[in-house]
Structure 1
Amino acid sequence: MDLDSLREESADYETQVKKLVRELAQKYDQPMIPTKLNNQGEIIPGQNRVVLDESQLLTRLLQKPTLFGKHIELPLTEEAPNITTESIQGIESHVISSYTTSFNPNVKGRTTNIALSAAEINDIVLGPGDRFYFNTIVGNSTKDKGYQLAPVIINKQYSEDYGGGVCQTSSTLYNAVDQAGLEIVELHHHSKEVGYVPLGRDATIAYGGKDFKFMNNKEYPILIRTIFDQQAGTLEVQVRAGVQEVASN
């Protein structure tokens, strides 16, 4: 990292350093993508969580101006998904919690969007301490990914946009996760009441902005299972774990 362009004598030296540190964090930080099970129950590897220690880097640069003009090692920490093949044996055997919401299957666009987003979070596995970021896992609900136009709530008003209905998936997940006692990290509510969950029990998301995040605070791995029934017009989200692990904790 070449810092030669910054000078301690500059009037806005500290401001420049803080800006640089923030830019570096935005460049290097990456959220964890949890592991997932395929149809054969085999692990699909996720992505490590990488975090730049902004406070440590800022202190180092402010206290040691001699570092400027040199290449220094960034204080990065990397955390892999806390999962092994052995640790997830029997993970599907016990339902810790379950939550079901209803939708109108005759509203085709919205139904499609719920189905697509529910499939993305199905069979996600979180080890102890692993985090789930809805926007990272589901991604942007764009037309090229198969998402369709459907009603969404923006500034207390209904309008049409691609991915309308995805918030029903995130809200169903939130209620199942909350019932399981998992730690909620980030949660936002709609600006207008929705009909598929009680007031205050929704979890709105907006790609690039509002997210729904939670952490597995249990001492054992958990599995997220989604059951989408188009004919019945229902979406169920379950949190599962191995019977032995649950019993021993």
Structure 2
Amino acid sequence: MLAIPFVVRLTHGGEALPGTTVAGIDVAGMDAAALRARLRPLANPRRAVVVLAGEERLTVRPADAGYRLDLDATVQRALDAGRDGALGGLPATVAGLLSERDVALDADVDRVALRRTVETLARRVDEPSFPGALKISDDGLDVTAEPPRAGRLLDREQLRARLRRALLERSSGPLRVAVRATPVVSAEEVDAIATEAGDYLASPLTLLGAGAPFQVGRAELARALVLEPLDDGSEVRLGVDDEAVAAIVARFAHARDRPPRDARVSAGAGGVVVDGKEDLTWRPRAADVSIVPARAGRAVQQKRLATAIARAVRDGSHNARVPTRRVAPEVTTREARSADRLIGTFTTYYEPGQPRVTNIQTMARAVDGTVIAPGGQFSLNGIVGERTRAKGYLPAPFIADGRLVPSVGGGVSQFATTTYNAAYFAGLQLDTSQPHSLFIDRYPAGREATLNHPDIDLAWTNDTDAPVLVRAAAGDTSVTVSLYGDNGGRVVSAVTGARRPVPGGDFSIEVTRVVRRPGGDTERTPRTTTYDLLDE
């Protein structure tokens, strides 16, 4: 008798022993390859699982729901069955001769895929409850109620548990899953809100503050009133539509906002001529400056006003207080009063009657009167924008790739150079500037700037505690840019080095700006410029 299990094992080496089944399938005598072929259909079951949810009949493909079978592990289980246990597994081998031994599949269900599948099914079943709604005519005279409707919600946790078990047990269902009704208020409650809305529309809503009282009439209020659900629709109240209220608030703010007015500084456009092309020193001078005081602005706090309107409607009040905030001017009167000195000025010259002169004069008019607040930046391109015929600019020579070509607005680099030198001798922070590629003898060598929109700009920062007023005047033969403010007494010198020949080019030159501040601090900033020869 003891020899029987040894004979069975010997005759079934590398094969499933007699009596072995896998998920009810007889696999006795099959080797690994045969087992894989026989069990492979179980790895991707084609039979869908049927789910019954309320009146919905849904089907689920096992693979979509995350069902996974480890075929190799299952085959190994089948080959090992009857070969382990007490006494070297001999009793298990004998038992297989007398009855079937069923081997469980090595299968699992991916939780992420299962959750995703359940959510997809739920979207086909779920219906949100409808808490009811107000129907208000455009004139606000007719208010009726649309009745509420209960919704339904699939029991997701129950479906996940039952579907997982069905997949692992290879059951096709059908699985019955609970669908719960979602709570909803009664039709009488919605009717009561409609009556409340009609009563509210009988009087206008008055906004108090930021000027005279402002009334929001029936028709505009009618677009704002809504039935507002609370606690997932188990309660309702009279509320507002956020977009409609935002439109009311925006209209009010447009009428009642008041922008701040910066203090204005006025000073003469000329009177002092500085035009040196070599070494030069400049110190600020007292100037005759007049001031127009600043005025703070007012801004409606729109989000807070919208909240106040919503609260008034919910409380049945017809008054809402308007919250505002003070908007400070960028240039205060105190700052403007300190801008009482001519801190920098420069003049360059040209032949009268040329198109480029018209362009320079047009740009000067656009810049004249600009005030740069403390910490603010002057950007010539930013102030003037693109030079176009519509703005009055004419075609004139412009340097491009070492050649002179016509361009609308050509010649305005002279205005950029003049402005650059005014800021240079004012001792202000120079941010962006680019010298010409060719030397032009009407400009100081190494102390000039070109301009092109939008890629080549002239920019400087007002790094003083006072505003800087820019005055620009362009006559028939010259243009002058003057800067008024208070730079703290900075004295600026330009130290011009010798011109050095450049092989294949024209020359290079180094110009050092020396800024001396009261107290002895000195800042030296050299700049080397290399000029090309004109490409004929």
1:78-157 matches, within 5 Å, as 82-89=330-337, 91=339, 93-107=340-354, 109-157=355-403
- Report the Cα distance in structure 2 between the residues aligned to 1:143 and 1:44, rounded to whole angstroms: 36
- Report the Cα distance in structure 2 between the residues aligned to 1:81 and 1:170, rounded to whole angstroms: 28
Q: Deviations over 1:179-229 (max 9, x none)?
A: 010001111111111232122212111112111111011122111111222
Normalising to structure 2: TM-score of the pair?
0.30
Letter of the 1:195 counterpart = D
Q: Deviations over 1:48-79 (max 9, x none)?
A: xxxxxxxxxxxxxxxxxxxxxxxxxxxxxxxx
Q: Does 1:235 align with 2:235?
A: no
What secondary structure sits across from 2:337 in the alignment?
coil
Contact kept in structure 2, 1:150 and 1:163, CA below 8 Å: yes
Contact kept in structure 1, 2:349 and 2:442, CA below 8 Å: yes
Q: CA deviation at 1:246?
A: 5.6
Consecutive unaligned residues in structure 1, runs of 5 or more: 1-34, 46-79
- 1:205 equivalent in structure 2: 451
Cα distance change of structure 1 residues 126 and 161 upon mapping to structure 2, 3 Å threshold: same
What secondary structure sits across from 2:347 in the alignment?
strand
Q: CA RMSD in A?
A: 2.9
Q: CA deviation at 1:134?
A: 0.9
- Report the Cα distance in structure 1 between the residues aligned to 2:263 and 2:350, rounded to whole angstroms: 26
What secondary structure sits across from 2:336 in the alignment?
coil
- 2:407 equivalent in structure 1: 161
- Report the Cα distance in structure 1 between the residues aligned to 2:398 and 2:353, rounded to whole angstroms: 17
Cα distance change of structure 1 residues 202 and 212 upon mapping to structure 2, 3 Å threshold: same
Q: Does 1:190 align with 2:414?
A: no
- Report the Cα distance in structure 1 between the residues aligned to 2:363 and 2:399, rounded to whole angstroms: 18
Q: CA deviation at 1:44?
A: 11
- 1:7 equivalent in structure 2: none
Letter of the 1:119 counterpart = R
- Report the Cα distance in structure 1 between the residues aligned to 2:406 and 2:474, rounded to whole angstroms: 23
Letter of the 2:353 counterpart = N
Number of residue equivalences: 175
Normalising to structure 1: TM-score of the pair?
0.63
Mean Cα deviation higher: 234-243 or 132-141: 234-243
Cα distance change of structure 1 residues 120 and 234 upon mapping to structure 2, 3 Å threshold: same
Mean Cα deviation higher: 171-180 or 125-134: 125-134
- Report the Cα distance in structure 1 between the residues aligned to 2:406 and 2:388, rounded to whole angstroms: 13
Using CA pairs below 8 Å that are at least 6 residues apart, which structure has the higher relative contact order? 1
Cα distance change of structure 1 residues 228 and 155 upon mapping to structure 2, 3 Å threshold: same
What secondary structure sits across from 1:174 in the alignment?
helix
What secondary structure sits across from 1:87 in the alignment?
helix
Consecutive unaligned residues in structure 2, runs of 5 or more: 1-261, 267-289, 296-327, 491-517, 519-536
Cα distance change of structure 1 residues 36 and 103 upon mapping to structure 2, 3 Å threshold: farther
Q: Deviations over 1:77-133 (max 9, x none)?
A: xxx984123421363x421121100011121x1111000111111111112211011
Cα distance change of structure 1 residues 137 and 43 upon mapping to structure 2, 3 Å threshold: farther
- Report the Cα distance in structure 2 between the residues aligned to 1:44 and 1:138, rounded to whole angstroms: 25
- Report the Cα distance in structure 2 between the residues aligned to 1:36 and 1:145, rounded to whole angstroms: 28
What secondary structure sits across from 1:176 in the alignment?
helix
Rg bigger for which structure? Answer: 2
What secondary structure sits across from 1:136 in the alignment?
helix
- 1:16 equivalent in structure 2: none
- Report the Cα distance in structure 2 between the residues aligned to 1:183 and 1:99, rounded to whole angstroms: 17
- 1:24 equivalent in structure 2: none
What secondary structure sits across from 1:119 in the alignment?
helix
Letter of the 1:138 counterpart = V
- Report the Cα distance in structure 2 between the residues aligned to 1:186 and 1:36, rounded to whole angstroms: 27
- 1:179 equivalent in structure 2: 425
Cα distance change of structure 1 residues 166 and 42 upon mapping to structure 2, 3 Å threshold: farther
- Report the Cα distance in structure 2 between the residues aligned to 1:166 and 1:240, rounded to whole angstroms: 22
Contact kept in structure 2, 1:174 and 1:203, CA below 8 Å: yes
- Report the Cα distance in structure 2 between the residues aligned to 1:156 and 1:85, rounded to whole angstroms: 48
- Report the Cα distance in structure 2 between the residues aligned to 1:152 and 1:81, rounded to whole angstroms: 40
Q: Deviations over 1:110-161 (max 9, x none)?
A: 1110001111111111122110111010111111111001111111110111
Letter of the 2:352 counterpart = P
- Report the Cα distance in structure 2 between the residues aligned to 1:186 and 1:218, rounded to whole angstroms: 18
Contact kept in structure 2, 1:131 and 1:215, CA below 8 Å: yes
- Report the Cα distance in structure 2 between the residues aligned to 1:94 and 1:188, rounded to whole angstroms: 28
Identity value in percent: 30
Higher strand share: 2
